Amino acid sequence: MNMTTDKTEARVPVTILQVHGDVDGSNYREVIDRARELYQGGARHLLIDLTDTPYMSSAGLVALHSIALLYLGSQPPDLEDGWRAIRATSEAGGGGAQPCVKLLNLQPRVTNVLDQTGLLAFFETYTDQAAAVASF
């Protein structure tokens, strides 16, 4: 798995994080760390492009949830808590889509796992990058 970033302007500056490859227990912390670096560098609106991410494990869900909380200014779950961090993702779905982190081009297996866990409702998802950027 590797990641690239790009920045674009809409009504607000939008940072695009492209994730290339599966996101699982071996690399989900890298995704969180990259998003944290972007946030610390001033990014406040993040579009995560998952075009090249065919698979995401529960650890990947923890990464997405942690990033969303970070961009909302909240404290993400402690990743050392293992199952508690995973449970926190399942409790997230009830409040509707959050405005700061959005997802682009979900692949079928990723859509399925987000839907099964209730996290799909936590994120706005798009298939068109221009529409996604304009939504911020």
Q: What is the pLDDT along the chain (136 residues), one digit of tens a residue?
A: 999 999 999 999 999 999 999 999 999 999 999 999 999 999 999 999 999 999 999 889 989 989 998 999 887 766 665 555 555 555 554 456 889 999 999 999 999 999 988 888 889 999 999 999 999 9
From CA 50, how far away is CA 7, in angstroms rounded?
16
Looking at residue 28, what is its pLDDT?
Answer: 95
CA distances from 17 to 3, 30, 45, 93, 125 (A): 7, 12, 11, 22, 14
> What domains are defined for the chain?
2-134 (3.30.750.24)
